[in-house]
Amino acid sequence: MDQPLITLQVEDKVATITINRPEVKNALNDACHEQLYNLLSEANEREDVTVIVLTGSGDAFCSGADLKSIDLAEQEHFNYGKALRETYNRLIAFMVHIGKPLIADINGTAVGAGLSIALACDFRVARKEARFALGFLEIGLVPDAGASYFLPRLIGYPQSLELAIKGMFDADEAKAMGLIHSIGEATPYIKRCKQLPSTAYRLMKQNFRESFDHHLAELLEMEVTAQREAGASREHRLALERFLKVPANGKALNMEDSKR
């Protein structure tokens, strides 16, 4: 029986999604895209999942598009734009709208659109041996899968241009330029994210994302709407009870009582 191209494992409220094509450095073909999208959707909908971790098998996170899956006889007429719309664009747009914390556990090589996928995650943690590159210009293509959106926002316009013409670089360089959050194991981020209030995190992520496309006045109103929803959530009520140390009789302490 063939091994699945993408695997999903749920344990202790953490969904680990693994790209499972180590023989091609976890390059993505059309079947991979479909499975990855479906498993991300499943993890996002499952009530027993609070954190999603995306990683790769073997010594690679993801090497981007599986260009070898394109028939060379058809390459001259291959429609790259149509392929993007049907695969990466659909995937990246969905990833940024996932309300749960999404962590890229970059276990190895992340290049091309594989790096773009990592950039679409909320947090990026790379192992010391991880290696990175855009690499698009080397094959006469333009950075895609959201790289044009994420890179300037994460590391700035001048450094994005430099990265586009740069070869492979290591985790230390990625950390220094702000491309990743940390070097090492993803466990500390997973533990922290498991404790987050799900409603407030989802709304915060939405406001942060939308902030680039709205004026301050609009964002202030978005915060009003988000805070109204967060304030009505069970997570807020329980957190507020803990903060105010509500006694067993349910009577909240006032600020003067809390000082005694």
Half-sphere exposure of 56 (CA within 13 A, CB side): 30
Band the pLDDT of 101: cuts 50, 70, 90. very high
- Tokens describing residue 142: 């333009």
What percentage of residues in the chain have a pLDDT greater than 70? 90
d(CA 128, CA 252): 49
Residue 254 has pLDDT above 50, yes or no: no
β 51-56/14-19 pair status = parallel
Query: What class does CATH assign to 6-193?
Result: alpha beta
Cα end-to-end span (Å), the chain? 67
Band the pLDDT of 71: cuts 50, 70, 90. low
Band the pLDDT of 67: cuts 50, 70, 90. confident
* pLDDT digits 0-9 by tens, 149-198: 999 999 999 999 999 999 999 999 999 999 999 999 999 999 999 999 99
